[in-house]
A and B are shown apart, each in its own frame.
Chain A
Amino acid sequence: VTTQSPLSLTVAPGEPASISCRSSQSLLHRDGKNYLDWYLQRPGQSPQLLMYLSSTRASGVPDRFSGSGSGTDFTLKISRVEAEDAGVYYCMAALQTPGTFGHGTKVEIK
């Protein structure tokens, strides 16, 4: 089970935001990597990859996004929220095939 919090948050442009993800089992593989991804689904769009292996930004993802954590507890941070960051953020436990998505965190911009 993968649990996200909060379920939703409203952030003013330029302010920071933080989303937590907790897994019921450790996502730390014997290769030393944490198999936890983050995805963003903007309204009316397909989800897109933001972060994989807990802290590696996907191609084209701005550096205001950062991921951290290990084992069972993970965090996605946005240093300065912009209007285009609105949408639903999902974490996904990727250690097993297929993985398990969290229920999502809806981010709205003030």
Chain B
Amino acid sequence: EVQLVQSGAELKKPGESLKISCTGSGYSFTNYWIGWVRQMPGKGLEWMGLIYPGDSDTRYGPSFRGQVTISVDKANNIAYLQWSSLQASDTAVYYCVRRNVVAVANVYYYYGIDVWGRGTTVTVSS
């Protein structure tokens, strides 16, 4: 079974650092983009960015560039999202997702964001 398993809920104070994780299983981890999507309380979905584990190519959404760091440990099939200094406005649920794009003879076939983790709730409060 293809799945993304996310790390547990976090309660942090403003100014603290944090690194949450997402472990992929049941598929070739290095061959699919892994992304992070934020959902603030009562709000919609926002793309934060994606990383391609095969070569660590990373793309950030314009609102998140410089605010967070996305990284990967491809040996262990883990993607990370980290903050160096949290703010109360970072309180949200963070979803790890798989972007399904398959390359066949230099032709790319897109199949959507087909796998979603259960989400990691991050609460930042003094």
Contact = CB atoms under 8 A, between A and B. Distances in A.
B110 A101 contact: no
Given A46-B119, A97-B59, A104 B114 contact: no
The number of chain B residues touching the other chain, given as a range, is: 20 to 34
Nearest to B33: A97
B37 to A, nearest CB: 8
Nearest to A104: B44
A35 B110 contact: yes
Contact of B47 (A39, A46, A88, A100): A100
A97 B96 CA distance: 15
Contacts, number: 58
Given A33-B110, A46-B116, A98-B59, A90 B47 contact: no
Nearest to B6: A46
A58 B44 contact: no
Interface stretch (A13-21, A48-56, A78-86): A48-56
Interface of A: 33, 35, 37, 39, 41, 46-49, 51-53, 58, 88, 90, 92, 94, 97-104
